[in-house]
């Protein structure tokens, strides 16, 4: 994992990079993604697992993070595979920080559809998965975790559609989305950033709250109390990224 002198806000965009294609590693880091995930699992054919692990290890050993560098993660193979132990050893040798507990949930929406035989579009962005998405958001909040990460979209050159998907995920309580191509990053980051009108609203709310000394006050014809103030503060934090 990369480090910085000040804590980073949770990532909005997590970009997968196949572990056996090291020429893409630095390009992924320059894509604008908040986090880059070096993938040793689904993106790597079985006969190239060892090669991918070696290439990821070599790149991690040579890398020197800066404050502006994205967070780097490694996606390892499952515990019931023959590659798992070596993948874990790689992470240990690379100096990945240990965590006392789960920090964030990720919704593998396409795998989930296949597992439950749910008929939906490729992104699973319809109502078919609405219940499950809401359950993940609620479970994350109850467990004190970061807002969860929504699944990938297979659309690469449809920026407006992808931004709309990200905004819907944000509205449901997700805090990020997985990306499978650098072209997706900007749309996802934009989708998880508040629009100008929302930022202007938040500023009006906080100004009115300050002027009233914390007493209930009306803004745009609507009552503002403590929960609304907290929401406005969150909007401005998101906008400051």
Query: Is 137 in the same domain as 231?
Result: no
Least confident span in 11-25, 45-59, 111-125, 195-209: 111-125
Give residue 238's pLDDT band: very low, low, confident or very high (50, 70, 90).
confident
Q: In this predicted structure, what is the pLDDT of residue 97?
A: 83
193-226 pLDDT tens trace: 999 999 999 999 999 999 998 888 999 999 998 9
* CA gap 35, 102 in Å, rounded: 17
Q: Which token pair is 150? A: 């929504």
What is the pLDDT confidence band of residue 6, given thresholds at 50, 70 and 90? Answer: low
CATH code: domain of residue 103: 3.20.20.60
Q: 230-238: list long-range contacts, CB under 8 Å, 24+ apart.
A: 231/202, 232/201, 232/202, 232/203, 232/205, 232/206, 233/202, 233/206, 235/194, 235/198, 235/199, 235/201, 235/202, 236/199, 236/202, 236/203, 236/206, 237/9, 238/192, 238/193, 238/194
Strands 71-75 and 35-39: parallel
Number of domains forming the structure of the chain: 2
Is the pLDDT assigned to residue 158 strictly greater than 70? Answer: yes
The pLDDT value recorded for residue 227 is 92
Lowest mean pLDDT among 48-52, 69-73, 172-176, 204-208: 69-73
Predicted confidence (pLDDT) at residue 27 exceeds the cutoff of 80: yes
Confidence of residue 2 (pLDDT cuts 50, 70, 90): very low
Is 219 inside any structural domain?
A: yes
Q: How confident is the model at residue 127 (pLDDT cuts 50, 70, 90)?
A: confident
Q: Is residue 160 part of a domain?
A: yes
Q: How far apart are CA 229 and CA 100, in angstroms?
A: 32
Mean pLDDT of the chain: 90
Confidence of residue 95 (pLDDT cuts 50, 70, 90): confident
Residue 212 lies in domain: 196-239
For range 78-102, the mean pLDDT = 89
Query: Considering the chain, what percentage of its residues have pLDDT values greater than 90?
Result: 71
17 and 25 in contact (C-beta within 8 Å)? yes
d(C-alpha 208, C-alpha 54), whole Å: 57
Which pLDDT score, from 0 to 100, does residue 125 have?
66
pLDDT of residue 133: 95
Is 218 among the domain residues? yes
Q: Does residue 227 lie within any of the structural domains?
A: yes
Report whether pLDDT(3) > 50: no
Residue 158 domain flag:
yes
Q: Measure the CA–CA gap between 201 and 219, rounded to whole angstroms.
A: 9
> Do 154 and 215 sit in the same domain of this protein?
no
- At residue 241's C-alpha, the angle toward residues 138 and 219, to 5°, is 70
The pLDDT value given to residue 4: 40
Look at residue 179 and tell me whether its pLDDT is greater than 50: yes
Q: Decide if pLDDT at 124 tops 80.
A: no
Has residue 25 been placed in a domain? Answer: yes
Provide the sign of the torsion angle of the four alpha carbons 122, 126, 129, 135, taken in this order: positive
Predicted confidence band of residue 5 (pLDDT cuts 50, 70, 90): very low
Averaged pLDDT for residues 23-27: 95
CA angle at 133 for the pair 172 and 29, rounded to the nearest 5°: 80
Query: 164 and 110 in one domain?
Result: yes
**177, 202: one domain:** no
How far is Cα of residue 15 from the mean position of the Cα atoms in its chain? 9
């Amino acid at each position: 994992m990369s480090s910085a002198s000040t804590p980073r806000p949770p990532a909005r965009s997590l970009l997968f990079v196949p572990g056996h294609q090291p020429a893409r590693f630095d390009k992924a880091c320059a894509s604008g993604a908040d986090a880059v995930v070096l993938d040793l699992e689904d993106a790597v054919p079985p006969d190239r697992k060892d090669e991918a692990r070696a290439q990821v290890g070599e790149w991690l050993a040579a890398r020197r993070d800066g404050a502006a560098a994205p967070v780097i993660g490694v996606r390892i193979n499952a515990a019931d595979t023959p590659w798992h132990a070596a993948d874990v050893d790689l992470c240990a040798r690379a100096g990945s920080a240990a965590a006392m507990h789960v920090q964030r949930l990720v919704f593998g929406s396409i795998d989930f559809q296949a597992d439950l035989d749910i008929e939906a579009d490729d992104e699973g962005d319809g109502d078919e998965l609405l219940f499950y998405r809401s359950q993940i958001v609620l479970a994350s909040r109850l467990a004190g975790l970061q807002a969860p990460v929504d699944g990938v979209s297979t659309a690469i050159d449809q920026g407006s559609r992808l931004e709309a998907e990200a905004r819907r995920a944000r509205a449901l309580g997700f805090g990020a989305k997985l990306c499978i191509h650098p072209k997706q990053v900007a749309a996802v980051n934009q989708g998880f950033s508040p629009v100008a009108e929302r930022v202007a609203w938040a500023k009006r709310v906080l100004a009115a709250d300050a002027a009233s000394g914390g007493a209930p006050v009306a803004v745009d014809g609507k009552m503002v109390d403590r929960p609304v103030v907290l929401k406005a503060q969150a909007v401005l934090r998101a906008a400051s990224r």
